[in-house]
Each structure stands twice: as structure tokens, then as C-alpha cells.
Amino acid sequence: MADLLSEYQAPLADMKFLLNEMSEVPDSASSPVTNEDLFFILEQGARFAEDELVPINAQGDSEGCQFDNGQVTIPPSLKAAFRRYADAGWMGLSMPEQWGGQALPERLSVCIGEILTSANHAFSMTPALTMSACRALISHGSDALKSTYLERMISGQWTGTMCLTESHCGSDLGLVRSSAAPTSEGLYQIKGNKIFISSGQHDASDNIIHLVLARLKGAPQGIKGLSLFLVPAKLENANGEWSAPNNVHCIGIEEKMGMHANPTCTMSFEQSEGYLIGKENRGINAMFTMMNEMRLGASMQGVGLSERSYQKSIAYAIERTQMRSLSGIKAPEKEADPLLVHPDVRRMLLTQKVFAEGGRALGQFCANLLDETHQDNPDKDTIQLLDLLTPIAKGFCTETGLESASHAIQIHGGHGFVKESGVEQLYRDGRISTIYEGTTGIQALDLLGRKVLGTQGKSLLSFTKIIHTLCKTHNDNLVMAPYLSVLSRYSKEWPDLTMKIASKGMRDADEVGAASFDFLMYSGYVTLGYFWAKMAVTAQDILDGKREAIDATINQDFLQAKVNHAQFYFDRILPRALSHKAMMLTGKNSMMSSTEAQLTL
């Protein structure tokens, strides 16, 4: 780390390692964008985050958002930073050029997304939601809607939201009661209330474009009867100005555990004018285009949380002295040894680090897949693999991000529990990441029920084949061979466990629900095991001279650290999968046998 006294520095060396040495995408001379171009942009994004967003993070948390008679104001420092961010063109980084975007690859966007989260989690929400809304509009909107809204949203002049949740339903979207009634061709009146709408009302953009799930009269019950509508907060008036009210009102903002600088709004649509996106009763299909983008974005929020937690912790552990080392004095010139020398502190620090770097490698891999799906006629196997990894990335990386934030508090001791250190804000802000875009339990059901069992295990086998190939190809790597042997056993066991759960589930569907969380966490640990193994064999091959590094200036200590930390992951973290295996196989009986009366005793 270049400057341990700094509040946050973007992990550019690790990101460059992934883009250069780990990427499946060749840096071709025929490509309009080279890795050198990507690195230059990445460095500028890092500087913006470090200089503009980090200094206002704690201030925004203290000031919070203000609600007054339907109007919401965010902290002035965040409003000004958003305008600078949008005006510099960062909003449209990976958006199509025809609407003002830069058409840069997702493998760059995920790096920028992580950096934004680490620097200022509350700030990162508005750009992320807006770009996800744009993706839904690009995929499913009419040409008229695209030409009217996309350029202004991609420029950041307008921002976007996703309006799903209602007070009586959270993740169960089939219970949505908001209604829509046609008034003319393509035009509808939207009525209903939505809660927990991030950036639903604020003063940082001229207009807010809501994507609203609602139900047409006579539509089928459940999610199959939902339609998606674009509902602008302001309409165009007779003079061509977008200032006419559209009966879209914020009726309150939440007092939250964290994310104080980003408003979470209750929105009321009172016969508001809306436009159909996609087809009637197919709104959930369009919404999931937006949702899946946000789930991958949320996974990088978990990675960013792990990274920021680690940076805060390692800086503190080096400077803070406490007790003497059990194996003998390490800093005789000081009255106590640094925290860093104590094994249990090392355990927490390395746990944070392997979650951050392993999750980053998973995110980069998913981004490469996402880039492929954005091409014409994407490969079905690529889509299926991305579908498999998305709930793993979202569920696992946000859970481990929160664990990393908890370790940061523990490493800081009492100082971690007070605001002055800044680590308690990390935990408060990061806690939401395991909830929105579908809780960890929802991700687990999606993974096991839809993505694995729903494909008869084909999606899982496509990934375990990748793991098997890595282990077989590098079984002559003397340093990593023992760890690759362990990983190979997991790759064979994973599908077998799936078959056992499927067999139970055929007799009783609750068995799938009972196993799902542990299945997701098991999947996450094995998945990160693959990426740590791949990083380690890549680093070791460069150290041994078996391959030449693409980056000729790569640091030898950096490469050795990759190998060391992979060994820590396999020794200390991957074995957690065994406990999840044991729990998923015990079945539902112990958790479902108690009656409601017994549970309330």
C-alpha cells in the first residue's frame, strides 16, 4: 500500500493484475481500446474518488438528507461532487455511444464501481441505479423512449430509480398492488405507493425517471401479471421545458442505520403519467435486466467494503501498539509491539484481504462474461454461466464484506465502536448490501432453485469443468499442487451435493429452502477457491519464469504475496465450506419441527 496514512487508496495494482495477467480478453492491437487506455481511465477514476469522495464521506454521514414538505435535499458536498462526476462523463462509462456513453467495457466499470463504494458508499448509489435503469430501457424500451430519456440520463442531467417494493411486500413482488390504466396508445396512469426507493427524490439532478412495477386491470395474479412503466417526476410542458409536475410525490424519507447521505424514499404515484416498457404483463422480465446489473454492482459493493475495511485495519494494526508478542519482543524500541504481530489480528487482516482480492477476481470474471452478453448473438453457455455466478457474487461477497467490516471494528477495539475511527460507518453503510436487490436468502433460493436445479445442474457443471481444467493443467506446480488437489475434490463434490439436495427436494420442496443458504455459502467459498488458485498459479508461473508477465514492471513481492495469501485462503477460509456442507445435508427437521406456540415460549 503506497501510503498507509491515507484514508483510502484504490487498489490499482491488484486491478491491473486482473486486467493484464488474469483476463481472458486479449489486448489486441485491432481493438479500439487497449489495456493502457483502460489503466489511464482507471487511474483518473481513482484520483477522483480519493480526492473528491473520500473527504466528504464522514461529513455526508453526519449531515444526512433533509425532508421538507415533499422536497429532499442531500448534503451539499455530495450534490456538488455528483455534478462534477456527471459533468466529467463518468456516468456513461459503459453505455452505448449513440446516447452519449463511452462504450467502454464492463471490466473497467466494475473496477470504478468498487472504488466508488470504498470511497463513499452513499454517493455510489445514484450513479449505479441510474445506469441500471438505462440498461433496462436499452433492452426493452421503445425507440421513442430511448431517444427521449437515455441521453439525459447517461449525461447525469436526469437520474433514475427502480420502484419495486411496497409496504406489504418486500421480495415477494407477486403481491404488488400498484395499478396502471391505459389512457391512450402507449400511455398509462399509474397509481400506488412504493417504499425503500433509493434516490427517489433529491436535488442533485433536474428530473428523476422512475421505473415502476404495476398491475393492469385484469392481469394475471402474481409476478406474471406485472408490467413495467417509465414514470418521470416531471413532464415536458408546451414550451418544451421539463418542468410540468407529474403527480409523483415523495411523502417521506427513512431514518436509517446507515447510508445517511443517500435518501431512501416513500414515493406516491397519484394518477401519474407513465409509459410502458416492453410488453404488458412482462414487466418482471424487463425489471430483471435492471436487477441483474444491480446484483453484480452490489457484489462489488461487498468487495469495496472488504477493501476499505482492510485498508483501515492494516494501517491501524501497523501503528497501534498493544502488549508484547507471545514469541518474543518484536519492537524493543517501543513500550509494546504493534498489533500486526499478533496471530489473531493477522487472522482477521488476512481474512479481509482474501475476501477483497478473491471477490474482485470473481467480479472481473463476471464482468468479462457480461461484456460478452452485450455482443450480438451472445453464446448461451456464457449467459448460463453468468446467471449461475450472479447470485453467488451478490450473496457471498456482500456477506463477506460485512464480515470484513466487523473485523475492522474488532481490530480497532474500543476505538472501532466510536465514530472517530470511521470503521463503524463502514459497517452501518455496508449492512444494507446483504438486503437490497434480494436478500441473501433470496439469492440462495435463486441459485439453488433456478440456476442449478432449474438447469438440471448444467450451469454448475459448466463451472466445475473450468475448475477441473485449472487443476489438471497446473498439477505440476510444486507450490500449489497440494491446494489444487483439494480444490479438485471440491469441484467433484459440489455437483454430488446438488444431486442429494435435489433428491430430497423432489419429496419435499422445503428441503431445498432449508439447504439453500448453506449451499450458497459453500458455493461462494469454492468459487473464491478457484479464483485464488488461478491467481496463485499465475503468480507462481511468472515467478518461476514459466510465463512472461504482460506487465513487465510487476512487483515480485506482489506476486509472492498472491501465493502466500492463496495458501492462507486454502488453509483457513476454504475449510468453512465443510461446515456448510454438513448443515445443508442435515435436512429441514430441526428447523421446522417447532410449532408457532413453541417458538414463542
Q: For residue 252, how far is the Cα from the chain centroid?
A: 27
Q: For residue 196, report the phi and psi dihedrals to the nearest 5 degrees.
A: 60, 40
Q: Over pLDDT 70: what percentage of the chain?
A: 98
pLDDT value at 316 more than 60 = yes
What confidence score (pLDDT) does residue 546 get?
93
Q: For residue 244, how far is the Cα from the chain centroid?
A: 36
Q: For residue 435, how far is the Cα from the chain centroid?
A: 11
What confidence score (pLDDT) does residue 129 get?
94
How high is the mean pLDDT of the chain?
Answer: 94
Q: Are residues 322 and 296 in the same domain?
A: yes
* Residue range 498-557, pLDDT digits in tens: 999 999 999 999 999 999 999 999 999 999 999 999 999 999 999 999 999 999 889 999
Boundary of a domain, candidates 406, 438, 470: 438
Q: How confident is the model at residue 26 (pLDDT cuts 50, 70, 90)?
A: low
What confidence score (pLDDT) does residue 293 get?
81
In a domain? residue 286:
yes
Q: Are residues 388 and 473 in the same domain?
A: no
In a domain? residue 594:
no
- The structure's pTM equals 0.95
pLDDT value at 4 more than 80 = no
In a domain? residue 93:
yes
> How many other C-beta atoms are found inside a 10 Å radius of the C-beta of residue 79?
16
Query: Counting runs of H as helices and runs of E as strands, what totals does the chain give?
Result: 20, 11
Boundary of a domain, candidates 384, 406, 438: 438
- Among candidate residues 21, 52, 437, 511, the one labeled active-site is 437
pLDDT value at 468 more than 80 = yes
Q: Are residues 342 and 434 in the same domain?
A: yes
* Residue range 110-165, pLDDT digits in tens: 999 999 999 999 999 999 999 999 999 999 999 999 999 999 999 999 999 999 99
Interatomic CA distance for residues 495 and 468, integer angstroms? 12
Which amino acid does the sequence have at 412?
Answer: H
Residues 6+ apart with CB under 8 A from 329: 337
In a domain? residue 285:
yes
> How many other C-beta atoms are found inside a 10 Å radius of the C-beta of residue 463?
21
In a domain? residue 493:
yes
Q: Are residues 115 and 235 in the same domain?
A: yes
* Residue range 239-281, pLDDT digits in tens: 999 999 999 999 999 999 999 999 999 999 999 999 999 999 9
CA-based angle 60:66:71, to the nearest 5?
130
Supply the CATH number for residue 421's domain.
Answer: 1.20.140.10
Q: Are residues 385 and 486 in the same domain?
A: no
For 48-62, 159-173, 203-217, which range has the lowest pLDDT when averaged over its residues? 159-173
The mean pLDDT value for 485-505 works out to 96
Q: Are residues 213 and 323 in the same domain?
A: yes
Q: Are residues 172 and 24 in the same domain?
A: yes
Say which residue the cell 473496477 belongs to: 111
* Residue range 85-123, pLDDT digits in tens: 999 999 999 999 999 999 999 999 999 999 999 999 999
Q: What's the domain range around 506?
A: 456-589
Residues 6+ apart with CB under 8 A from 577: 490, 521, 522, 525, 526, 529
Say which residue the cell 438447469 belongs to: 455
pLDDT value at 451 more than 70 = yes
The mean pLDDT value for 364-380 works out to 91
What confidence score (pLDDT) does residue 1 get?
39
Q: Are residues 226 and 300 in the same domain?
A: yes
Q: Are residues 414 and 465 in the same domain?
A: no
Closest CA to 98 of 132, 140, 143: 143
What confidence score (pLDDT) does residue 292 get?
79
**Structurally, how many domains does the chain consist of?**
2
In a domain? residue 555:
yes
Q: Are residues 431 and 462 in the same domain?
A: no
Q: How confident is the model at residue 31 (pLDDT cuts 50, 70, 90)?
A: low
What confidence score (pLDDT) does residue 136 get?
92
Interatomic CA distance for residues 286 and 293, integer angstroms? 12
What confidence score (pLDDT) does residue 27 get?
53
What confidence score (pLDDT) does residue 294 get?
87
pLDDT value at 5 more than 70 = no
Active site residue 166: no
Closest CA to 137 of 241, 212, 217: 212
In a domain? residue 599:
no
Q: For residue 238, report the phi and psi dihedrals to the nearest 5 degrees.
A: -65, -20
Q: Over pLDDT 90: what percentage of the chain?
A: 90
N-term to C-term CA, the chain: 53
Residues 6+ apart with CB under 8 A from 164: 173, 176, 194, 213, 287
In a domain? residue 596:
no
Q: Are residues 428 and 493 in the same domain?
A: no
Asked whether the beta carbons of 334 and 377 are under 8 A apart, the reply is no
What confidence score (pLDDT) does residue 2 get?
38
Structure letter (DSSP) for residue 64: -
Q: Are residues 434 and 484 in the same domain?
A: no
Interatomic CA distance for residues 495 and 568, integer angstroms? 25
Asked whether the beta carbons of 563 and 484 are under 8 A apart, the reply is no
* Residue range 40-80, pLDDT digits in tens: 999 999 999 999 999 999 999 999 999 999 999 999 999 99
What confidence score (pLDDT) does residue 375 get?
85
